[in-house]
Every structure is written in structure tokens, then in C-alpha cells.
Structure 1
């Protein structure tokens, strides 16, 4: 397959806001790809690389492409591009800079102008084509003629949409049925939807529910097979080396194999949660220092050779109690409304965010956000994308201050601006922003540094109002910064529909 066919499909997707049209364009090029080309094509159309990071950033790629005359006609094949990317990923050590430059020059020098733009965006992680993984998953299902739920489940369990696409196109639903949970391989976590109140969630879900503390911690997934343990973040990053205390606890559990879902939390001497950033700081270091993480588990996906994903939550909770009862998040099964309200108050009094209310009859929907799990917090919060920041004045002169905030476009387009705020920014956060934001700079003018959509911030707000000021038609009311979310990508930010759902009825 010519690489130009992939680039043309990407351009077609970027040129429409119609999800149906995006899926059709993507499905056509995926269906046309040869067996050896499917994996890289699906990865590229999802905006990613099979090789992961290549060690070539904007500076390197920009220096290479500057002055290169683009090819007049497309000749590059998918195989040739994939091979060059493999070579880039495998280049290290003495002389690697020169070898990397040579590979980039050879690749970009044979590319047309459109192909060069696509490659630069792909290699630097800045490909904006309006095709998030969810849209590409739909396209894989259509290309293979396989039910979407079957493809989605296989992708979530395998952790690889490109690999799932190969299986779907070669063996259809029968081959995808062979995908299952594999201990020591991360599973995309089940997610929760916001609820307005405890009573509202109970009315929606009925009496067969579990009400548990919602901790202000970092999501973890712990796998153990024999003596081998792995710990993953919510984005499936392996942090095993950074959390030796959690590894040690996992090895002490009375089982031979297990997969647990939960939260990790740094606590004060009084047993109250430390700031979220103190928990997250451990994920980037192999040294525990003075901060010790305490795991709290709320789900069990596998125990001693038995997969539990499709079992109701009530069965999974029983398994969790049997293997890690002392490490469970405080929870009540089938509480009365008064008991649920008291549990919510107890969670807030203990310094936690609120409660999770979960349907005890529901299976574990890996990678999905549905109504079976609902979260109730004391205030409205949204995870939004930082689109830019304005230079401050007065005591904030020389500091990047007022944030431009965007909500995720579920159709895969650019984030949609919904407001600004400078409230809640401590001096430490102002200093951090001023140092960090230029590393994500897209462009700037006299007043504002505009960023690539990479940083997610959690915003607390009193509500939302209709507004013509911003493209989304809504504006945040009394928005203030709670914290940055280094554990979340822009693809996990709240959608514009989630923002609009807070409008007064």
C-alpha cells in the first residue's frame, strides 16, 4: 500500500466533523491495507507509533525537514515508512544523532509535501486529524464486518488496537473471541460517570448497589502471577519499579494469581490523604523517600486462574474480600438512602472526594465509561485541556497565569474552549506553569502562549452558563484550579457534552 493512501484518508477525516464520515473513510483504507500493513496503518490513523517514542522531537525533525524539497509524486510505501521508523527507534549510542538525521533525511526527502506534514506530526506526537482511538475502533469493526462490542472488548483486553485489527481482519469474531485477560498485561480500566447527588444515583441504579469512598488518589492496577508483580497506572504505564511497597504487599496476598483494581494514596501520620501531587510524584521515581503509598482496592478482575470480568460486581467484591479484605476501600453493600448519605458524609469528613455508587449486577466494562458506576463529589469538577496561558501582571508579572481551558471534542477534533481562569493558582503552580508551558508551546503572541493539547487540569466550578463568548456555547462559572492531572491525557479529558450537562435545566 502507498503511504499516500493513509495520508489522504487522514486528510479526509480531518476535513469533516461527521463521525459517520470519519469512520467510513478510515474503514476504507484499513480494509484496503495488506496483511503486513494493517498494524502500522491503524497505529498511524490513531495518531500513534508502533515503536513508541523515537527520540526525535520538534527540534530534530524541524531541522531535518527545513530546506528539503518535497517529492513531486508519492512513491513511499507503508512498508518503507514502517521500516524507517523501526530504524529510528533502534538507533542509540555513539553516533546515533548522525544516523538518526540520515534516516530522517532519507525518509522525509522521498515524501511529498502532504506526506512530510503527516510524518512530522506523527513523529513528534502532534498529529491532529480528528481520529481518536474510539473512532478508529469503530472503523476497524466496520472494515472487518465484526460487531463493535467484540472489537472494543478485544482491544481493551489486549491493550493493542493495531493487533486487534490484524486479528479482526484475518479471523473475524472467532479469532477475537480468543482475546482474554492476561495476568501481567494491563487492562484498560472501567470508568465512572458523574452524578448530581447520592439520592439521584440511588434512584437511577436501584437498591442493588455498593457505595464506597471515592479517594483523592491515583488509580492503580496490580497484577501478580506467582512471585512476579506488575503495577500499572490508569494509562497502563508500568510503574512497578516506583512502588516497591505495593509490590511487597501484593506478594503477601493469599493467592497464586490475581488482578486488582484500586487507588494508591499517600497518607499523613494522622491517616488523612496527602495532596494528590505527593502521590503522583512517586510514579516517576524508583525511590520511595519519606512518602509511602498505601493501596486501597475496590475490584478483583482475576483470582487464581479464574477471570472475573464478566461476573457481576457482587461476585468480584466477594473475591476481593477473600484475597485482600484488609486493603479494601470502605464500602457499604445495599445501603438504605440514609446509610448511603451517612457514608458520603463520612468520606468527606475523612478528607476524601466523595463516594462511588456502583451497580452490583454489572460486569467490568474495561475501558468504558457508563452509568453502572457513578461518582458523587461535593462540588462540580471537570478535567479540561490547557489550551494556552496569558502573561500575568502586577505581582504576577513575568509569570504565565490566566489559563485558557478546553473540553474534548468527542468527534476527535481540537478541544473546544469553554473558559479562562487564574483562580486557585498558588505561587508554586505559577512558577511551574511558567517553566513547563513553553515546553508544550504551539505558538505565541504578545499576551499569550498557546499550547499543544497535552496538559490536563482539574477545575472546580460552581456551574455552567450559556455564553456566546466561547465556541462551545457555554462558559464556566467561578472556575478555579484544583490540581494538574499528569495521570491523564487529553483524550481522557471531559467532553463538551459533559460541560453542557451542567447547564441549569
Structure 2
């Protein structure tokens, strides 16, 4: 397939707004890929490179040759060129990489160069997120979309799923199972304003877990090999020796656990989330001990438990782990019992509770009604779209945040308002440095940034607002913390914000 045709597909996806139209365009492109081009081509359509690291920075993208007048590149040739760039190392590597990048861009037309810049920079926001591509793969391969989505969630690798579906159909997708050592997209929880609303979603009796103020971890063990992954599937094993040691002590051969890790003070109460997040992000010597707590068991000694009811998985967890490694958990048949569990969790300094339906399977990667989290305040995880330079005491610091909710239909973000409240001097210093790194434009007043940084925002309610494109705005929004453990693709959606607004209107 000509790389120019893939560039045209990317432009066409950006030009249409309807989900169905985007899927048709993507499916047509996927069908035209040669078998050995599917892995790279599907990655490009998702706005990614097949190679995770290339060593190509912004300076290399700025200093590029004039575009070619005629298209000559194929998808396979581009993939081979980027693969060669990604393995350059050693003496003279910088000059060698620059020559290879120059040769690739010199062979690319203007339209192809635009696509390459987007791929290398990670800024190809064309609205073709993983959900759309899963639907397009199913359409192109003529297989059930449910089979594609499950395979994608189990493998965490869209490229692998695309190759399987387009070359082997449904039988090849069925061969994609949970693999110990390969992280899978975690099950997520919806939000509810109180335990009564949560119980309406899950039904009763329900299981009520303490919601820890830590970072989500998924731990895989095979023999003596232990790997720890974040909710975004990043490998942080080297930064969590305490977690590795505790899991290695378990009397099992193979296990996959879902849980959280957090730092505690001398009395056993949780330290602030920023300390846990900082500890997990640091490669150097540990300054605070991380303690793991697990709430689900996904695989045990050769047996997958994903499709088993929660009560079965949790019983196996109780049988396998010591109580000190399991989150606080109670059963509730009434609102009063759930409320008591909620109050107890808050009294222990935790975030709240997660109310769970005990008959539900582990719904990989889904945010369904089987798990519902309850916190003592309204909070949303939003994405920073821009930041304004401060004035007065905050002169020289980036201060006022422009906040956006995710729009799954377009793959973009919808602005909900601004806030500068809740920012300590420490946060102001941190975000000034952070958003300079994400800057795409600065007019001296507003700094536009790549929509990558997630921030947890507390607010008092949602109100209608003709001022913002989503028609809603947050009342008294204030910053709680930055969420370095969560990618922008997991930020809360504009529909969730509107639903909160409708709930407020209903009293």
C-alpha cells in the first residue's frame, strides 16, 4: 500500500465527524494493507509508531528537507526506515539518525511529511482512537466486534489484534488469551454521588471495598519472575522492589493480581497521593516504602479467572493471599450497611469506597455498572488544554488552567472552564515546568499545550453555560492533584459531566 494513501486516509478521518463514516474509511484502508504491512499500518492509523522509541526529537522534525514531488514510499518501506532509525546506537549515532530521518523525509511528499511529523511527535489527533479502530478491524475482517474488543483488551496490543483478525479471522482472535507477563487493560469503575446511587447500579447484596488513595498496579508472577504495571500498562517493576518481594513470597507458581500501592505514615495511615505518585515515578533510592493491597485475582496457576463471578475470584484471593495484602472489604445488603463502610473508610483516611456486584465477571477495560466508586465530594479527572500566565504574586508562573473533558465521538476534548484555585506554590512551580514541556503555542498570555496532562478537579456542581462548547461548566472548580498515573484517554467524558448536571437538576 502506498504511504500516500495512508496519509489520505488520515486526512479523511480528520475531515469527517461521524463515527460510522470514520469506521468506513478506516476499514477500507485496513483491507488494502498487505499482510506484512498490517502491524505498521494499523499503528499509523491509530496515530502511533510500531516502534515505541525512535530517538527522534522535535529539532529533527524542524530541520527536514523539502518534500518530494512524487510519491514513492510504501507503508512497508516507511516501517523499515523507522525500524532502522529506532535501533541506531553507539558512537556517531546522532549523525547517523539525522541522516536516516533526512532520507525518509526527503522521499516523502508534503502530505506524507505531515503524517510522519504527527507520528514521530505523537500529536496525530485525527479522531481514530482504539475504540474506532476496533470497530474498523471487525468490519474489515468481517468478525464480531465483541471478539476484536476482547482480544484487544487482553493483549493490550492493537497491532497484534489487527494482524490476527485480518489474517486469521475469528479463530485467530480466539487464540489471544491472558498471558502472564503481558499486562491487560484494567476494569474501571463508574462514579456515583452516594452509596444509595451505587447500590441502585450494582444491586444487593453488594461487596464494598475500601477505595485506597494510591496508584493502580497490576502484578504478574511466573516462577520467580515478577512484573509490576501501571493502569496505563507501563512497566514500573524496577521502582517497586517492596511489591515484587511481597508477591514473590506467595505460595504460587503463576498469578496475576489487580490492586493498588500506597505510602503509609508511621501510624499506618495513607500519606498524600503526591508522595505515592512521586515514589512510583522515581528510579533512584526509595525515600518512602510502598505497600501493596490487592482486590482482584485474574489468573492463578494456569487458570484464567476473568470470566468467573467476582465472588469466586475474591474467594480465591482470600485463599491465596494473607489478609495484610488484601483491601478492606465488607458485604452490604442495605444502604445503612454500605454507608457505615463508607464512613469507616473515610475515618481511616482513605478516598471512599468501591461498591461491586459480586456476580459480575472481570470486564477487562470497561467502565460498567458492576463497579461504582463513591467519594465524599464531586471530582472529575480532566485534561489541561491551555494555561494562562499569572499576574501579581503569580507573575512568571503558569497559573489559570483551561480544563477539558474527553469526547469519545471525536477523539478530542471539550472545554468546561478554567480554574486557578487549589494551587500551592509547589504545584505552581511544577506545572510551569510541565506545561512548558507540553507547549505548542504561546501568545504571551495563553500557552496552548498538548492535551496529555490529567488533573483531578473538585467542584460543587455542574451548571448550563452558553459560554463553553459543551453547554456546561463546573461550579467552583479547584485543583486537588495531578494524575500522572492516568493517561488522557482515561479522562472523564463530556457525557459524564452532563449526566452529573442532570442529576443536580433532579435534586
Do the structures match in fold with TM over 0.5?
yes
The match for 1:214 among 211, 215, 220 is 211
The equivalent of 1:93 in structure 2 is 90
What's the CA shift for 1:414? 2.6
The equivalent of 2:22 in structure 1 is 22
The equivalent of 2:113 in structure 1 is 116
What's the CA shift for 1:69? 2.1
Q: Quick check: 1:466–1:475 contact (8 Å CA) kept in 2?
A: yes
In 2, distance between residues paired with 1:378 and 1:184? 36
- Decide which moves more: 324-333 or 35-44: 324-333
The equivalent of 2:423 in structure 1 is 425
1:257-305 deviations in Å (ceiling 9; x for gaps): 1111000010111111111111112223344523001111000001121
The match for 1:479 among 474, 477, 480 is 477
In 1, distance between residues paired with 2:283 and 2:110? 44
Q: Quick check: 2:254–2:299 contact (8 Å CA) kept in 1?
A: yes
In 1, distance between residues paired with 2:497 and 2:56? 36
> What SS does structure 2 have at the residue aligned with 1:502?
helix
- Map 1:222-237 onto structure 2 (within 5 A): 222-237=219-234
The equivalent of 1:264 in structure 2 is 261
Q: Quick check: 2:263–2:291 contact (8 Å CA) kept in 1?
A: yes
The equivalent of 1:360 in structure 2 is 358
The match for 2:464 among 446, 463, 466 is 466
Moved over 4 A (4+): none
What's the CA shift for 1:469? 0.9
The match for 1:203 among 180, 200, 220 is 200
In 1, distance between residues paired with 2:206 and 2:180? 28
Residue 70 (1) aligns with residue 71 (2): no
Structure 1 residue runs of 5 or longer lacking an equivalent are: none
Q: Quick check: 1:312–1:361 contact (8 Å CA) kept in 2?
A: yes
1:236-255 deviations in Å (ceiling 9; x for gaps): 11111111111110011121
- Map 1:47-196 onto structure 2 (within 5 A): 47-63=47-63, 65=64, 68-196=65-193
What's the CA shift for 1:344? 0.2
Q: Quick check: 1:392–1:400 contact (8 Å CA) kept in 2?
A: yes
In 1, distance between residues paired with 2:355 and 2:272? 24
Count how many residue pairs are aligned between Structure 1 and Structure 2.
502
Q: Quick check: 1:282–1:288 contact (8 Å CA) kept in 2?
A: no
In 2, distance between residues paired with 1:404 and 1:490? 14
Q: Quick check: 2:188–2:367 contact (8 Å CA) kept in 1?
A: yes
In 2, distance between residues paired with 1:429 and 1:203? 38
In 1, distance between residues paired with 2:332 and 2:277? 33
What's the CA shift for 1:334? 4.0
What's the CA shift for 1:312? 0.5
TM-score (norm 2): 0.97
